[in-house]
Amino acid sequence: MPRKFIKRFLPDPGTIREHKHLRMFGSALHDPNLWHLNRRSVSVAFAIGLFMTFVPMPFQMIPAAALAIYLRANIIISIVLVWISNPITIPPIFYFSYHVGTWILGKQANPFMFEMSWQWFASELAHDWQPFLLGSLAISTIASLAGYWGIRGLWRWHVVREWEKRKNRK
């Protein structure tokens, strides 16, 4: 089952409950549905995690955890997927988001050099915030939908394959 494969890579629920940034959710983290691995909870968790990955904001784990609690998705997967965007991957993600936004708006992309500083955000992003945010929203939505339907499809494929194996053994 996909559960066995996924469980090998997930941290302990107690570790997540005690995380300093997630303590604010209190007893909501004790809902057992947040820790179950089934097709619905995992596919929704992928959608949440991939959506929040491409949202340009700090501390993406907190909104991802809040959405997972609200939608009763697997909280660990939602939080772990947010770390696709990390200090190494943020510059190419932002650059790609900007170019997607300019393509959607039909604008010419302005050449710039990305620099991870507040001064860069204040000066450069002031001119190009519309295509950047639109591109981020578009990529977030597409990644979220692809993750949701991809996981549902993979899960279904795996279950059908297991049924076939059982049928062939008999």
3-state secondary structure (DSSP) of residue 107: coil
Amino acid at 115: E
Q: From first to last of its 170 residues, what are the pLDDT tens digits of the chain?
A: 466 666 666 666 666 667 676 667 666 666 777 777 888 889 999 999 999 999 988 889 889 989 999 998 998 899 999 999 988 998 889 889 988 999 998 888 777 666 667 777 677 767 778 888 999 999 999 999 999 999 999 999 988 998 988 888 87
Structure tokens at 65: 């955890």
Tokens of 143: 């990644």
Please tell me the distance from the alpha carbon of residue 100 to that of residue 137, in angstroms, as a whole number.
10
Q: How many Å apart are CA 125 and CA 139, to the nearest integer?
A: 18
All structural domains of the chain with their residue ranges: 2-169
